[in-house]
Amino acid sequence: MRYALGIDGGATKTLAVVGDETGRVLGVGLGGPTNYQMTGLKVAMQNLDEAVGAALSMAGLPIDAISHAVFGMAGADFPIDFENFTKGISSLYPGLSFDLTNDTWVGFRAGTAASYGGVVIAGTGANYAAAAPDGRKVTGRGMGYEWGGAGGAGLLIRDAVHYAFRSHDGTGPKTALEEAVLKILDFPSYDALSLYMYENQARFSQIFTKAAQIVPALFQLALEGDAVAQDILIKTGTAMGEIIGGLMKSLGMGQIPADVVLVGSMFTKGVCPLMTSALKIACQRSVPLAEFKVVEMEPAGGAYLMALEAMGILGNKESEPGEACPDAQARAVRQTVRQRTVETLAEKMRALGA
């Protein structure tokens, strides 16, 4: 029996998945953030090793038992990032056969068995990627608003605070965000919050745990009818849809059916659907036949399936339009492997309490 390892390394946490060649997940492990652009490479590798070690321990396997691994890492954006991650991973696990990719691609595989389409990541940060039927791929820069990006908790927090100040100062429409932001961040007044932001260059990194709670509050207020909160979600979703739609259209998918996978807490935990609805409308202006799928498993499960693919076990790849349909037995095996991964990963996550 051969075994595979899949990792989804993000800006908030890292999840590792270990399983056998049949798609059966044997172990999962959680660690801290591994986006080394935020943590530094040393801390990122420590957190990675924590997650991998926990998954191997649950599976009862040593690292030497792994035939192949796929590391999907947030922060793997430029050639220097791939170089740094490769050095760090090779140092941690000498001799391990592995592939390194941006975390968008493991998210894509977690949501679809197709070989082409698009993916939107929207959690702590946001990123985009698209793959064409002819194999061409493009990955977003993933660096934030100034690089042409949109979405993610950071930008929603920024917009919420912006309009909370304007509501308080009488320079914008009144919004319940005014009271919510001050309460969540635990400041007595907007003058006090303003001074804190001045002293910290408008960054909330020192109180990010508190600031992160602005995001669910924003979704809740939008659900309750707050027009400003609704506008923020619609504006954000529209920009996200324009980005992924533009990437897909540039690769020739403007007139063909294609999956768009939605990954991250903005899609799975946001109680108001306005952002997702706006994203779909904006995307379909460029790709009218786009079909949207929220991931059916943790993205680390997608990395694990990619590792199985690299091992020659194509259990999660379906035939594409225009391709010859595989024989019924092969197709059934492929579907079975993917479904087994979905089910056993969910079981292991429940056992982990996640």
DSSP string, 261-329: EEESHHHHT-S-THHHHHHHHHHHHH-TTEEEEE-SS-HHHHHHHHHHHHTT--TT-PPPTTSPPPPHH
With a pLDDT cut of 70, the percent of the chain lying above it is 95
Does 308 map to a domain? yes
Q: What is the pLDDT of residue 315?
A: 44
Does 22 map to a domain? yes
Does 237 map to a domain? no
Q: What integer is the mean pLDDT of 78-97?
A: 96
Which tops the pLDDT comparison, 204 or 340?
A: 340
Q: Is 175 helix (H, G, I), strand (E, B) or coil?
A: coil
Q: What integer is the mean pLDDT of 51-66?
A: 97
For residue 326, pLDDT beyond 60: no
Does 167 map to a domain? no
Residue 164 near residue 158, CB atoms below 8 Å: no
Which tokens belong to 154?
Answer: 């950071």
Rounded Cα–Cα distance for residues 335 and 327 (Å): 12
Instruction: Kindly report, residue by residue over 254-291, the tens digit of the pLDDT.
Output: 999 999 999 999 999 999 999 999 999 999 999 999 99
Q: Report yes or no on whether pTM surpasses 0.85.
A: yes
For residue 319, pLDDT beyond 70: no
Alpha helical stretches, state H, the chain: 36-39, 41-59, 79-92, 103-111, 153-169, 177-185, 190-199, 208-211, 214-223, 227-250, 265-268, 274-286, 299-310, 328-352
- Tally of domains in the chain: 1
Residue 299 near residue 103, CB atoms below 8 Å: yes
Does 170 map to a domain? no
State the residue range of the domain holding 25. Answer: 3-113+297-352
Which tops the pLDDT comparison, 314 or 24?
A: 24
- Tell me how far the alpha carbon of residue 342 is from its chain's centroid: 17
Which tops the pLDDT comparison, 143 or 127?
A: 127
Rounded Cα–Cα distance for residues 106 and 113 (Å): 11
Alpha-carbon distance values, 264 to 120, 267, 340 (Å): 8, 6, 22
DSSP states of 227-255 as a string? HHHHHHHHHHHHHHHHHHHHHHHHTT-TT
Does 83 map to a domain? yes
Q: Any idea which of 85-94, 239-248, 311-320 has the lowest mean pLDDT?
A: 311-320
Rounded Cα–Cα distance for residues 93 and 64 (Å): 9
Q: What integer is the mean pLDDT of 119-141?
A: 92
Q: What integer is the mean pLDDT of 73-87?
A: 94
* Residue the block writes with tokens 């940060």: 125
Q: Any idea which of 94-103, 156-165, 333-342 has the lowest mean pLDDT?
A: 333-342
The enclosing domain of 35 has a CATH number of: 3.30.420.40
* Residue the block writes with tokens 């504006």: 235
Q: What is the pLDDT of residue 327?
A: 65
Phi-psi bin for 144: left (phi > 0), alpha (psi -120 to 50), beta? Answer: left
Mean pLDDT, rounded, of the chain: 92
Does 262 map to a domain? no
Q: What integer is the mean pLDDT of 125-147?
A: 88
Rounded Cα–Cα distance for residues 334 and 320 (Å): 14
Does 129 map to a domain? no
Burial class (CB in 10 A: 0-12, 13-18, 19+), 346: middle
Q: Which of 308, 282, 324 is nearest to 67 (CA)?
A: 308
Q: What is the pLDDT of residue 12?
A: 86
